[in-house]
Amino acid sequence: MNIVILTLFPEMFDGVLHSSILRRAQAAGELHVELVNFRDYAEDKHRTVDDYPFGGDAGMLLKPHPLFRAVESLQNRTPELETARIVLLSPQGRVFNQSVAAEYALEDNLILICGHYEGVDDRVRAHLATEELSLGDFVLTGGEIAAMAVMDAVARLRPGVLGNAQSLVAESHQTGLLEYPQFTRPAMYRGFAVPDTLMSGNHAKVEEWRHRHALYRTWSKRPELLRQRELSDVEREWIRLFEAGDFQGAGIEVR
């Protein structure tokens, strides 16, 4: 997968690109990331990328010219980018989630535009970007942190990026449920014990325990996620018990 990031601060990406999963994905050839400083495409000798908004307002806006020129230069150099999604990271975009990450992971090329200052000239949104994307209902100084989050979430869904594909299947949101509790050695720590079921060696019981507790965690912490999930009869019965406060009957060890 090829991800191009247009940013005024490429140095911000050094740590995330040279660590952990993203570093290994690049080394394996599964991911290629290109950082483009669109200041290099400014039209004046001072390489100006921002200006005051027409009509008067606080702050500065990113000018359209450097961004248009940067994307067009990339597309002329690499024809495959002509059909790439061009994503403007903006608080006005659709909210990023696991479904969007899976959607983007099907692409071979992706261009992310990091906004800055008070925003971007609207002609970038209307005539250059193919879509807008928001990390959530809060304000960041620029789009760089959002771009890092999107890149990480998308890249790990690509085949060959994670060493253990089963790890991906069990993650929170991948199944529509939050992840179940997990434990490692020692079995007893400061008087806190690992649940007996997980040490029983009975794989069927372990899987049922994990399923029940994943459902309970989702019900108690993120109930809105359950409205998007088609529940089985067994899951509906477990939820009925949760709502009745009968956690022992539901086989839940509340912690």
Q: State which residues form the domain around 130.
A: 2-165
d(CA 120, CA 118): 7
In the predicted model, what is the mean pLDDT of residues 121-125?
Answer: 96
d(CA 7, CA 9): 5
| Residue 248 domain flag | no
User: 238 or 163: which carries more pLDDT confidence?
Assistant: 238
Residue percentage of the chain with pLDDT more than 90: 84
Cβ pair 142, 8 in contact under 8 A: yes
3-state SS assignment for residue 111: strand
Same domain, 161 and 176: no
Cβ pair 229, 239 in contact under 8 A: no
Looking at residue 253, its pLDDT comes to 80
Same domain, 133 and 191: no
Q: Which of 165, 191, 221 is the last residue of a domain?
A: 165
Looking at residue 58, its pLDDT comes to 76
Q: Which of 165, 198, 219 is the last residue of a domain?
A: 165
pLDDT in tens, 48-86: 999 999 988 778 999 999 999 999 999 999 999 999 999
Same domain, 65 and 106: yes
Same domain, 47 and 150: yes
pTM: 0.87
Mean pLDDT over all residues of the chain? 93
Which residue, among 143, 136, 132, 151, has the nearest Cα to 95 in the 3D structure?
136
d(CA 40, CA 238): 58
Q: Which of 130, 165, 200 is the last residue of a domain?
A: 165
Q: Which two tokens stand for residue 117?
A: 């200052």
